[in-house]
Amino acid sequence: MSNPFDLSGRRALVTSANTGIGQAIALALAQAGAEVICAGRRPSDETVAMIGSAGGVATSLLVDFSDPMAGQGLFEGRGIDILINNAGIIRRNDAVDFTEEDWDDVMDVNLKALFFTTQAFARAVFAVGGTGAVVNIASLLTFQGGIRVPSYTAAKHGVAGLTKLLANEWAASGINVNAVAPGYIETNNTAALREDPARSGAILDRIPAGRWGQASDIAGAVVYLCTPAAGYVHGAVLNVDGGWLAR
């Protein structure tokens, strides 16, 4: 009997896989049997080395997604059938002081590049009559407003909408499109929050699981959505937040 969680023979591209959640996703996909291409504006040499030392296959590819069209031409001839849209940035300021530049920078990477990269992926898959899986990385701010992050919140709300729209269009054609919404995860991006006793305490008090998440918690959910086990899952936004949104 075949293993519905096996990704052997599949080739995945993970954006921004040099550290944090992206790195954990790349490692988990490789552990499940996939060959992994780590694409981003910084080299993913550490991730590639970690996968290689564990017996997997991975390469690093420099792509700067601050250019929303950087993904065009990225998939032709590469045989990629899994796309993980993890690249993202954030800008913080009060809404009354937020600049057009900070708005555009975030929207370009977090939403526009995500759409056009996914479009290029689907075109390549359809051109060879293949099938595939897309997992977008959303956020708690896909569902909540947050504070002082207007462009990030708008973009992450948009990620949910695009996930559903693309699932509607492509589900019958063999591409599964879903998203994972991480909660508070121990990464470099949350270091300042975790080092603030009052803020960290308030966050932990809200999380039913009673702990910050690990990047591997997100990786496991992403791998699931890429496997045959999730073959009938389309347009879902899976919260991996320790129960934060249920509170």
Structure tokens at 236: 């879902």
Structure tokens at 159: 């990620």
- Find, among 99, 119, 236, the residue nearest to 176 by Cα: 236
Per-residue b or e along 214-238, where b marks 16 or more CB atoms closer than 10 Å to that residue's CB: ebebbbebbbbbbbeebeebbbbbb
- Do 235 and 164 contact (CB within 8 A), yes or no? yes
CA 24/CA 220 separation, integer angstroms:
9
- Answer yes or no: 232 catalytic: no
Could you tell me which residues are beta bridge partners of residue 82? Answer: 12, 133
Structure tokens at 89: 């940035």
Structure tokens at 14: 């993970």
Catalytic residue (choose from 152, 184, 224, 232): 152
Structure tokens at 241: 């937040």
Structure tokens at 195: 């080092």
3-state secondary structure 97-132: HCCHHHHHHHHHHHHHHHHHHHHHHHHHHHHCCCCE
Catalytically active residues are 152
